[in-house]
Chains A and B, each alone.
Chain A
Amino acid sequence: MRMYFWAIKVFKMFNRGNKIKLFAFLVCLSFMIPIHVFAYTPAEIDINNPEHQARIEEGQKLFKANCAACHKVDQKLTGPALAGVWSNWDSQEDLVHWVHNSQEVIASGNAHANKIYNEFNKMMMPPFGQLCAEQVVSIMEFYVQSEELGLKPGGGAAAATPNATVSADNGSSSNSGSNKWILIAAIGALALMAFALISITSKLEKIVDVKIEEREAAEKEAKKKGTGKKIVSILIIFGLVTLGYTVVKGAIDLGHSQGYEPEQPIKFSHALHAGQNKIDCQYCHSGAEKSRHAVIPSVAVCMNCHKYVQQGPKYGKSEIAKIYQYSGWDPEASAFVNAPKPIEWVKIHNLPDHVYFNHSQHVKVGGIECQTCHGKVEEMETVKQFAPLSMGWCINCHRQTDVQFANNDYYSIFQKYHDEIKKGERASVKVKDIGGTECAKCHY
């Protein structure tokens, strides 16, 4: 069949009189004949033929169940891309034989089988004896071809792909923007007010400078005149209180970075990974139960999924391409080719150096949810510091939180409390009862 197409092509070239092209073509052809002359042509698909539609659907189902773990039509995964697979095989029988028992085909000395086997580091494709020849053809010829040519039977296939591109950041940024404007407006208003106050007080000072009699007279006069001065003084007091509050609150919050939401080198979305995809926090932050640090996952953990997932719903390929750059992965070659380099994530939750904090103590022993201190990270597009992480905040929690005493080996040593709970003298044990508010617990 293929020879026939070539013959037509050659004939056309003659007609055009393109001799050089023809010569080049013939040279190429002479090289290709020993390899490709036996490549077979797959069944031609007629998308309007219900029989063919049924076979495409069957192929798709079987592909998902049996092949999708290692193969994609247009992309090399664990195994080769399946597009144009027939052009590599001498006959349909050989291809079916390969699927049924690849080892046998390799042993038989088939050139392409051995080439593929060596190309993929002698990784064996498991035998799929349960698929009959017709099913293999449904997958390889009907489904793969339909994908390649973009043919979709009915539209059932299109409907089956879930709509996973829900953007999770409706208005969070505009929200913080409006807050900023309110702040600026408030500061402006305060500045205006203060300016008015200064001019008023300086005028008042001038009045003070006037002789006492005159001042008294003036005061009397003012009293007579009405409440204008009273309003001014109420305004002054109000202004001073507001400003005082701002100063004190600002001074207390100094050094607490609550609300800190820095840009990260990769626009990693927790809303997507932990929210929509429901990946457990500790899948990546696997140190939280075992060590002081919750651990920033290594790029290798990213690559567990992103060898396959090359495109995100929001930024497309650009952000995931950054992971490949850091890890040295070449998606074309499906291999790590370059030296990896660390991703410089910006640390958000910083405790001062004079405070000791241990994740495993809180997560493993205490059974505290991540969200208690970090907020609803699974809804955050970019992570933001949720808690003030101030000493008052720590101590408050230690005073109010019940220790999980029941069935917790870690606290079996507190015999007195266990006895008291048994006798009913004590309802619960707070963290402060076991030394949770002692200075040296965290500062040493």
Chain B
Amino acid sequence: MLRKGKYILTILLSGTVFYACSPGGNNPGYEYMPEMVHSVAYDAHSENPVYPSGYTNQLPAEGAIAVGKYTYPLPNTPEGYERAATEIHNPFDFTADEISKDGKKLFLRYCAICHGEKGDGQGHLVEIDKFPPPPSYFSDDLMSKPEGQRYHTVMYGKGMMGSHASQLDHRERWLVLSYVKSLQDAHSGKSGNDSETAEVVTKN
């Protein structure tokens, strides 16, 4: 006699339970077979009881250089900045296509937010008054800045600019700098000469 009632009760209860399990807010919901879901090995970014520091992401031992990776030789000091002018040079030979495509993409992503899409120091954050304006790439000081010091700046930051070494790797840093150089070349071509020669300069 009570059998049917029991069936209905079971369905009702499981319905309620499943509603209650549905995720939202701080509740991620329930899972079945958790041993297939959670990694036995420690995931990147996860806590780690093995290391004394307590986290899985570890810095390489001091002085270690990963195969194929580049280590910047100069320290983050005024002397290092001075030395960068003569000691650091672009080892890559980028094609015009790489610079105008990939370089531009990186520039718009990492630099233009402050330096402006044109490089005039009027990026979106400057326009909405959230961040002070960086100097224009076309100021006399920056036009003549040696490439090594530019790299040093991307590496360690300068003034209000922070280090972008964690976001850009060695090749990308030079690629972005090459794009900046191309912006400056185009600019000096435009302002320094009449329009006819300017075209020649930008094409080159």
Which residues from chain A sit less than 8 Å from chain B, CB to CB? Answer: 64-65, 68-70, 72, 77-78, 121-124, 126, 161-162, 164, 176, 183, 187, 190-191, 194, 197-198, 201-202, 205-206, 208-209, 240, 243-244, 246-247, 249-251, 253-263, 276-280, 282-283, 286, 290, 293, 296-298, 300-301, 303-305, 307-309, 342, 344, 347, 350, 352-354, 385
Q: Known contacts A69-B159, A164-B129: does B32 contact A255 (CB below 8 Å)?
A: yes
Bound form: Cα–Cα A77–B8 in Å: 70
Q: Which of A246, A256, A259, A296 contacts B19 (CB 8 A)?
A: A246
- In the complex, residue of chain A having the shortest beta-carbon distance to the beta carbon of B78: A122
Residues of B within 8 A of A197 (CB): 8
Known pairs A342-B54, A352-B37. 9 more at Cβ < 8 A?
A: A70-B160, A123-B78, A198-B5, A206-B1, A253-B22, A255-B32, A280-B113, A283-B167, A353-B38
B108 at the binding interface (Cβ < 8 Å):
yes
Bound form: Cα–Cα A251–B131 in Å: 50
Q: Are A304 and B162 in contact (CB under 8 A)?
A: yes
Bound form: Cα–Cα A204–B159 in Å: 84
Bound form: Cα–Cα A347–B22 in Å: 18
**B149-173 toward A: CB 8 Å interface, digit per residue (1/0)?**
0000000010111111011110000
Q: Which of A124, A206, A240, A352 contacts B36 (CB 8 A)?
A: A352
Q: Are A260 and B28 in contact (CB under 8 A)?
A: yes
Which residues from chain B sit less than 8 Å from chain A, CB to CB? Answer: 1-2, 4-5, 8-9, 11-12, 14-19, 21-32, 36-40, 44-45, 47, 54-55, 78, 108-110, 113, 124-125, 128-135, 141, 157, 159-164, 166-169
Q: Are A249 and B130 in contact (CB under 8 A)?
A: no
Bound form: Cα–Cα A62–B2 in Å: 88
Q: Are B25 and A353 in contact (CB under 8 A)?
A: no
Bound form: Cα–Cα A342–B51 in Å: 14
Bound form: Cα–Cα A149–B21 in Å: 59
- In the complex, residue of chain A having the shortest beta-carbon distance to the beta carbon of B113: A279
Q: Are B37 and A353 in contact (CB under 8 A)?
A: yes
Q: Are B110 and A190 in contact (CB under 8 A)?
A: no
Nearest 3 A/B pairs, CB to CB: A250-B18, A304-B162, A205-B1
Q: Are A69 and B133 in contact (CB under 8 A)?
A: yes
Q: Are B5 and A243 in contact (CB under 8 A)?
A: no
